[in-house]
A and B are shown apart, each in its own frame.
Chain A
Amino acid sequence: MATTENRLHDALVKHEAVLLKDWIASQAKASGRPMTAAEGQQLEARCSGFLELLRQATREGGDDIMKPEWSAARDFLTQLSAARARAGSTPVETAMFIFSLKEPLFNLMRNESGAQPLAEDTWKATQLIDRLGLFTAEAFQKTREEVIGRQQQELLELSTPVVRLWENVLALPLIGTLDSARTQVVMQNLLEAIVQTRSDIAVIDITGVPTVDTLVAQHLLKTVAAARLMGADCIISGIRPQIAQTIIHLGVNLEDVTTKATLADAFAVALKRTGYAVVRVKNDSGSMS
């Protein structure tokens, strides 16, 4: 007596051409827009490729898609999901690749088998396809998360430049919300730049930081303390009126740190401490009335 899996396998072998044609048609219908010739060809190649793998897998692997016999089919789906995730497809479109196989497959089985095994077969097949569909969605999600992770990393690197303002004066313009991970990078970059440039003074400008909570303030204080331990002084500048209010309401103690309202003020202090002065060379009286 043929088991359910084998009946599925037999059906796949026997009616491959019909199944392929119906599957492609059903996907074209699901996508809701006409396909170009190139897209159609690509889809056909993918579908026939997957049917081939499905046939092999159902022959030996039964219906547990985590078995080693299914690894080729799983790899195929992972690659497909990854490609679609990168190309910007929606999760629904990606999962549809598998779910659209249901209709042609069930039609086929209805024509093929009698009434009694039909319910059982349909149940088995639907379970199998659902599992494959979920697997696809998961692979899709994983690729998306990788993309997001990479972007976060890039953002981290982009957002922490250490600028040399003057001889022995560094500036660190902070933009965006500070969290622990970012502060760690900021701190390390700043301290390394201090060592490299032998700077005595570092100006941390927080004009671009939208909100300051206790955690951010804590991080700032830690950075200042670490720089001080290495022998450099920190000035915090760019404190907006609201942020000044927030800091006081939160009860954060910034008394040990030099703070200035603008980067220009901080720079003036830094120049004074390093023994420089800015002098106007030419008194240009004609430019202003």
Chain B
Amino acid sequence: MERIPILKMGDFLLVTIQVDMHDRLALALQDDLTEQIVKWRAHGVLIDISALEMVDSFIGRMLSNIANMARLLDAQTVVVGMQPSVAITLVELGLPMKGIRTALDVEKGMRTLRSYIEANGDGQGGDGNPEI
């Protein structure tokens, strides 16, 4: 069964979605990611969806869920590179994904994560709703 690779980069995990997300793949990603966060004690997760052309409400909720799960495990999630059409779809679906941090590209996403983790220090998860 195909899986989405999860790369470890220091404190962060990098997930690049290169294929069309179908529901089973999304569920597998959820399993893998939560496991890897615990395994590596990661503090940040970066999900690159720049290759994702289409989303539905399920995938949208999945991304949101993954971010919330990661937060429970003390890791911050940044979703980067969302396409305009995907953003419009999510908004029209009524899924503005309030809890998720976003960035334009991987570089900016990394910077966001790093500055957040520096600002909050290790192990201090807080309520997960910091000001930027």
Contact = CB atoms under 8 A, between A and B. Distances in A.
B35 interface: no
Interface string A86-115: 000000000000000000000000000000
B88 A231 contact: no
B91 A231 contact: no
B87 A229 contact: yes
B82 interface: yes
Contact of A226 (B79, B87, B100, B109): B87
A199 B103 CA distance: 10
B87 A188 contact: no
Contacts of A229: 79, 82, 86-87, 90-91, 96-97, 100, 102
B108 interface: yes
Contacts of B83: 195, 230
Contacts of A146: none
Contacts of B122: none
A225 interface: yes
Given A222-B92, A225-B96, A200 B108 contact: yes
Contacts of B121: none
A225 B84 CA distance: 11
Contacts of A24: none
Interface residues of B, number: 21
A162 to B, nearest CB: 12
B80 interface: yes
B104 interface: yes
Contacts of A188: 84, 88
A191 B104 CA distance: 11
A231 B96 contact: no
B102 A226 contact: no
Interface string A168-209: 000000000000000000011001101100111000000000
Contacts of A227: 87
Interface string A217-231: 000001001111111
A192 B84 contact: yes
B103 to A, nearest CB: 4
A112 B131 CA distance: 94
Contacts of B100: 229
B23 interface: no
B105 interface: yes
Nearest to A184: B88
A171 B43 CA distance: 35
A236 interface: no
A228 B105 CA distance: 13
Interface of A: 187-188, 191-192, 194-195, 198-200, 222, 225-232
11 contacts: A187-B88, A188-B88, A191-B88, A198-B108, A226-B87, A228-B96, A229-B86, A229-B90, A230-B87, A231-B79, A231-B102
